[in-house]
Amino acid sequence: MKIEKLSRKEKENLYDKKMDELQTIWGNPPDQGPGDFSDWTDEQLEKGLKDTIGQIRFEKSLSFIKKLVLYPIYALIVLGVIGLLIFGIKQLF
């Protein structure tokens, strides 16, 4: 999607939508209603939009990396507990 080709109103709506998505990722309640961008220049709106989209991409990739690291750790812990239980049961009988 080319941000430069969007109208100002479309950019404002997209910025509101992306900020709501980012707030949801962070665990905050989304803002109520559309924002007021009357004092923002077109350059500020484009920069804010690009920064917000970049932050969303970063948050999603960070979430993926966390899952990639934590799930094997959790699996090893579960397998270790299962192994200890099996060893303990064998010792009882």
DSSP secondary structure, 53-72, as one string: HHHHHHHHHHHHHHHHHHHH
**For residues 52-89, b (16+ Cβ closer than 10 Å) or e, as one string?**
bbebeeeeeeeeeeeeeeeeeeeeeeeeeeeeeeeeee
pLDDT at 1: 66
pLDDT tens readout for residues 38-47: 899 989 999 9
Q: Does residue 27 surpass a pLDDT of 80? A: yes
Please write the tens of the pLDDT for every residue from 45-68.
999 999 999 999 999 999 999 999
Q: pTM for this one? A: 0.76
